[in-house]
Amino acid sequence: MITVTNLRKTFHTPVVQEGRFSGVRTLFSRAYKEKEAVRDLSFEIESGEFVGYIGPNGAGKSTTIKMLTGILHPTSGEVLIHGLSPQKHRRRVVGKLGVVFGQRSQLWWDLPVKDSYEILTAMYRVEESTSRRRLDELNELLELKELMDMPVRKLSLGQRMRADLAAAMLHDPDILFLDEPTIGLDVVAKKNIRGFLQTLNQEFGKTILLTTHDMDDIEQLCKRVIVINHGQIGYDGSLDTLRDRIGLPTMMKITYRGDIQVPESWELPFRVVEQEAGVLTIACNRQELKAMDVLRVVSLWGDMDDVHMEEPEFEEVIHGVYK
Ligand SMILES: Nc1ncnc2c1ncn2[C@@H]1O[C@H](COP(=O)(O)OP(=O)(O)OP(=O)(O)O)[C@@H](O)[C@H]1O
């Protein structure tokens, strides 16, 4: 279980001095500006959950993950992983965590992939026979064989991500923190990575916190989302409730045979967006009104032929939280 209580991180960066010798003057200046990257975060994640951690650029996602993994020290507040602080009990906590930063590999750039795995096996003190068995299992899921002898710098982005995910799983952690693991990947590579993450969560019961800007990742993988903006939580709950809460309109396109007779005024809470060539487009909030109630009314306006409904795009829903 992961418990985060009133977590804060403020960065102090030197104010860049203007004019001649600005570099040297900045170095000796005592002027600092503060950036509250994470303001006051509290949440709990139960074992076996798959949680999406999303927010716009600069919201504080990476800073949070760095504090969860013990890389950064919080300014105040606390993180507990299975009751232990990643900062105070680094060695014990690290053994329970796997971390992947999509933008940066944790493998040795010039070494063949299998050499990186050997180093990590030794670092995490995994028995060699256990590590071999685990690599066999990971190979089944991630098709690593073709990569093993290649230096990391020669791997494609998709291959590199597979190699990095395997590296994060070598010591069999029960919690995974993933920061943009599908960034820059093509459709096929994304599908493979998502399949792997789903297997880890559903079959092996791993707890996963996933940061991504790809809303398809979230829709396909996460039941729960935490939305963060300006270092604070804007929403924490299920995806479905999020959609309902934002209440973006569902669009209904109704096709009629022949003329449409829209009355001058009516009392229902839906809006006619467009009317042209036998097609009526209506925006309605499905929390306030059932589709059948809308249809009952609009069927009186002509000879209805077909109805097409479009739910709001997930991306629009998320932007509704950021606003
Ligand atoms: N080491 C640092 N020193 C100073 N400011 C920092 C540092 N690291 C992050 N920040 C600032 O803290 C804020 C949060 O950054 P963070 O990287 O956590 O955002 P993010 O949500 O991960 O963004 P993105 O989606 O772009 O990766 C940003 O304004 C960033 O500029």
The 10s digit of each residue's pLDDT in 57-90 is: 889 999 999 999 999 999 999 999 999 999 999 8
Ligand 1 centroid–CA 85 distance in Å is: 22
Cα distance between residue 195 and residue 207, in whole Å: 15
Q: Which residues contact 264 (CB under 8 A, 6 or more apart)?
A: none
Interface predicted TM-score (ipTM) of this complex, two decimals: 0.97
Query: Chain-centre distance of CA 90, in angstroms?
Result: 25
Which atom of ligand 1 has the smallest separation from the CA of 55?
A: 21
The SS3 of residue 121 is helix
- Structure token pair of residue 159: 């291959």
Q: DSSP readout, 6-38?
A: EEEEEEEEEPPPPSTTHHHHHHH---EEEEEEE
The residue extents of the domains of the chain are 44-244, 247-322
Residue range 44-244, CATH number: 3.40.50.300
The 10s digit of each residue's pLDDT in 141-161 is: 899 999 999 999 999 999 999
Residue range 247-322, CATH number: 3.30.70
- Structure token pair of residue 282: 């209506």
**Which residues line the pocket of ligand 1, CB cutoff 6 A?**
11, 13, 35, 37, 55, 57-63
Ligand 1 centroid–CA 178 distance in Å is: 16
Q: Which residues contact 149 (CB under 8 A, 6 or more apart)?
A: 112, 113, 114
Contact 8, 40 (CB under 8 A): yes
Q: Whose CA is nearest to atom 17 of ligand 1?
A: 62
Q: Where residue 201 falls among pLDDT bands split at 50, 70, 90?
A: very high
